[in-house]
Amino acid sequence: MKLASLKSSGRDGSLVVVSKDLTRMASAASVAQTLQQAIETWESSASALKKISELVEQNEIETMAYDVDQLASPLPRSYQWADGSAYLSHMRLVRKARGADMPPGAETDPLMYQGGGDYFLAPTDDIPCIDVDWGLDFEGEIAVVTDDVPIGCSTEAAVGHIKLIMLCNDVSLRNVMKPELVKGFGFYQSKPASAFSPVCVTPDELGEYWTGAKVTLPLETVYNGRTFGRVPAGNDLNFDFAQLIAHAAKTRELRAGTIIGSGTVSNTDHERVGSSCLAEKRMIEIIADGRAETRFMEPGDTVRFEMHDPSGQSVFGAIDQKVVAA
């Protein structure tokens, strides 16, 4: 099933069930007011939400038109947004651009940082640009939402804790990042609010394109109206979501509503499939030509992330954002 959160007067939105073809949606208030409430009671709420989803498909429940501008991120805020860097080809390029070495054990020990979850941008919200010199960039990612995960959860058990899947634009400030990471405490100022796709889906919704705790469809990135990347999300993924969850839960529990991100979707075959962030393209240019042609984002630039199944159906709806001067 597909779920979303209507913007509301509250900070957590109002939970709705969305039709599989993304044309209609129905209130889920009879089950849970918010997605956070639903994920905290998933064992009972999932089946009740599934019933609403079936009624939506059968046109046997009152629905309203799907309108992406009325939707917040599925979790408009989250108690935990932990983002991995699971595509090593992205890490190799971006670290080269920053002049940083690959970390020891990168192939066996996932990188993960704690992101800010106190608010997320809506999928069509403008991205505020405070200072163009901060090097505003987008990062197209896959993310999952978990229920309660115990300490020491194995990769095998982690699969069952993945309840929802969505896309993410992990907005990044590249020129703030380098001096910030030198300080050794990780990202803070360099990672302002992220945005997520209008719709999140249960794993079964992806059918054969959800295998072994990863999505195999290509992530499409359109930058200023042109295709920028069409990167198969199942290729060159060094750590799947089960491995990322097991890493995150090694020393503590993860509580329901935790979002785990894949990091920028990236393939080594980037000449053919493109990229999911500007930093990669810039580094590829530097390696090829000695200098970066592509600049970072400025007011007026637009970016769109979407994923279609082979029948042409958009799975998660589109993140579609414009940069505006703040």
Is the CB of 154 or the CB of 227 nearer to its own copies? 154
Least Å from the CB of residue 153 to its own copies: 13
Least Å from the CB of residue 97 to its own copies: 14
Summarize as ranges the residues that interact with its own copies (CB under 8 A). 11, 40, 77-80, 82, 85, 100, 103-106, 109, 111-119, 128, 130, 134, 151-152, 173, 176, 179, 181-190, 192-193, 247-248, 250-255, 257-258, 326
Is the CB of 83 or the CB of 306 nearer to its own copies? 83
Least Å from the CB of residue 150 to its own copies: 11
Q: Which residue is associated with the tokens 């990672």?
A: 191
Least Å from the CB of residue 113 to its own copies: 4
Which string of DSSP letters, residue by residue, matches 236-303?
S-SS-HHHHHHHHTSSS-B-TT-EEE--S---S-HHHHB-SBHHHHHHHHHHHHSS-----B-TT-EE
Is the CB of 119 or the CB of 232 nearer to its own copies? 119
Measured distance CA(87)–CA(262) in Å, rounded: 8
Distances in whole angstroms, Cα of residue 69 to Cα of each of 16, 205, 223, 317: 14, 23, 20, 11
Q: Hey, what are 230's tokens? A: 């069409």
Least Å from the CB of residue 316 to its own copies: 23
Sheet strands (E) in 130-274: 136-137, 140-146, 162-169, 172-173, 195-196, 200-201, 210-211, 214-215, 218-223, 226-232, 259-261
Q: Phi-psi bin for 168: left (phi > 0), alpha (psi -120 to 50), beta?
A: beta
Least Å from the CB of residue 186 to its own copies: 2
Measured distance CA(250)–CA(128) in Å, rounded: 36
Least Å from the CB of residue 290 to its own copies: 26
> Are β-strands 81-84 and 259-261 bridged in parallel, bridged antiparallel, or unpaired?
parallel
Is the CB of 59 or the CB of 108 nearer to its own copies? 108
Is the CB of 78 or the CB of 197 nearer to its own copies? 78
Is the CB of 166 or the CB of 259 nearer to its own copies? 259
